[in-house]
Amino acid sequence: MNNLAYIDWAILAAYAVTIVVIGVVSGRKEKNTEDYFLGGRSMPWWAVMVSIYATSLSALTFIGVPGAAYAGDFYYLQLGVGDLCGKLVICFLLLTAYYRSQVTTVYELLGERFGPRTRDAGTGFFLVGRILASGVRLAGCAIAIHVVFEVPVHTAIWAIAAVAVVYTFAGGIKAVIWTDMIQFFLFMAAAAIALTTIISSLPEGFSQFWNIASAEGKFKVFHDTLDSASPNYWLDLSNPKAFLAGFLFGCFTGIAALGTDQDLVQRMLTCKNVKESQRALILTGILNFPITLLFLSVGTAVFVYYQITPDTQVAAYEAAKQTDYIFPHFIKTVLAPGMRGILIAGLFAAAMSSLDSALNALASTAYVDIYKRYINPHDKDDANSVAISRIYVALFALILASVASLFSQVDSILWFGFRIFGYLYGALLAVFLLAVMSKRRFWDTGNLIAMLTSVVVVIWLTSKNIPGTSIELWSSKPLAWQWALPAGTIWTVVVALLFSKKESEQNE
């Protein structure tokens, strides 16, 4: 903590005060839950676009992507191709259905189309998946705060959650979107400052950065070969770096995250109409490439810096496979006062922009899909509805902080977050695709069975051992974990179709 100068503390204080004030002020006129959760469906598309991207970035991008580039190469960039294709599918398939139904949460559509069990399953999968995934994101930021401030990771987790809950509690989705705007530009500026500072500090500048990184294969994006004997054979389903696996994972992840996850769909539903929502979403897909490239370059630049200037602590992080700790260590020990404050504020911004939206989305889902259905379905009091929604925001802040504490010792926070997503969201994506693409009447209970069994199946397909044991599931290599989401989607669709056929035969 002694490394921080007064100007660094001043920058952090100014950031915190600005975010809280904007959040509180923007939510002063929240009269009902449509205002609190959907901003009255009147938010400008450009603000929604920035907010969507700011939320999807998170501390996983700010810390995890540089960490992945430090330990590996630019492989992560190829996921963006599939991500853009996935967003195009959402625009012209799912968004029109959501706007036509005028839903507050997307799981209402499942209830209308299939019945209460499918809606409950969708709600449950989202709540569990979002709590786990956002817990990983929060842990990622806390790790960086731990390195910079030398405070326990658990203390950092609870401090971040406390700040986020203040303005989210008060301002609802409007607070989330407007604060995300500021936070997006802050952490983009922080990443750009980090990259230019590192390269300019090298004795031979950019040429040295380029030459060392190239020699180490850091700029490699594609690993595929046509040689069937090679571990990088393009059809080897156990190869996690194959383009096919990365493309399909990026595509399925994009559709699942932005098409079935209330955290991000909620943002799109705040636009005035479906065309503005589509415009915002497509532009985020295009924006993804240069921004991902920026954060990968930061990690590579840090790698080059420590090749030239060895550091014993960095060597210890490498030995422990804790590459997520290296960029925060660089911020703390190398950057000059002022710049260090901006980078740390950018780190906080990355955490807040994903945490605030998760809190609002979890609260909206709990209120609409649980409270309004099972606890108080006749609640017509707008003031009471907003008050209950705010209680849910505070409750989920406590839950997320608790979950993040459990995940704080994970080796690579980026890939761990993706694994959690892949195990749960394949089933969720499947039932939404069936809802909008098929005219058949599916068996409500059959959908539930299909979703629950998909989790077991994808863990079996992508795990070497039974989780938590040494009992082997495969004598050879299992499927690469990137196949979890496509496999879960396919399994759920097939099983749901089998049950729908069974029901139709019984009704004849």
Query: Which CATH number do you get for residue 160?
Result: 1.20.1730.10
**Structure confidence by residue, pLDDT tens digits, 370-409:** 998 889 887 777 778 888 888 998 999 999 999 888 776 6
pLDDT at 412: 54
Q: Please state the φ and ψ torsions of residue 191, each to the nearest 5 degrees.
A: -65, -40
**Structure confidence by residue, pLDDT tens digits, 188-247:** 888 899 899 999 999 999 999 999 999 998 988 877 677 666 666 666 666 667 777 778
How sure is the predictor about 503, in pLDDT bands with cuts at 50, 70 and 90?
A: very low
How sure is the predictor about 505, in pLDDT bands with cuts at 50, 70 and 90?
A: very low
Does residue 429 fall inside a structural domain? no
For residue 350 the two structure tokens come to 């990355």
pLDDT at 240: 66
Instruction: Report the C-alpha gap between 479 and 172 in whole angstroms.
Output: 41
Q: Is 422 exposed, middle or buried (0-12, 13-18, 19+ CB in 10 A)?
A: buried
Greater confidence, 245 or 315?
Answer: 315
Neighbours of 151 (CB within 10 A): 14
Domain count for the chain, please give it.
1
Instruction: Concatenate the DSSP letters of all residues of 84-129 into one string.
Output: HHHHHHIIIIIHHHHHHHT-SSTHHHHHHHT-HHHHHHHHHHHHHH
Domain that holds residue 266: 6-413
pLDDT of 163 above 90 = no
CA distances from 15 to 24, 348, 472 (A): 14, 9, 50
Does residue 477 fall inside a structural domain? no
Does residue 231 fall inside a structural domain? yes
pLDDT at 462: 82
pTM of the model: 0.78
Does residue 424 fall inside a structural domain? no
DSSP 508: -
Mean pLDDT, residues 299-305 taken together = 94
Does residue 491 fall inside a structural domain? no
Please, what is the angle between helix 153-201 and helix 339-366, to 10°? 140
The helix (H) or strand (E) run that includes residue 461 is: helix 444-462
* Residue 350, C-beta contacts closer than 8 angstroms, at least 6 positions apart: 57, 58, 59, 61, 62, 63, 141, 183, 187
Does residue 472 fall inside a structural domain? no
How sure is the predictor about 413, in pLDDT bands with cuts at 50, 70 and 90?
A: low
Does residue 488 fall inside a structural domain? no
Does residue 185 fall inside a structural domain? yes
Mean pLDDT, residues 243-262 taken together = 81
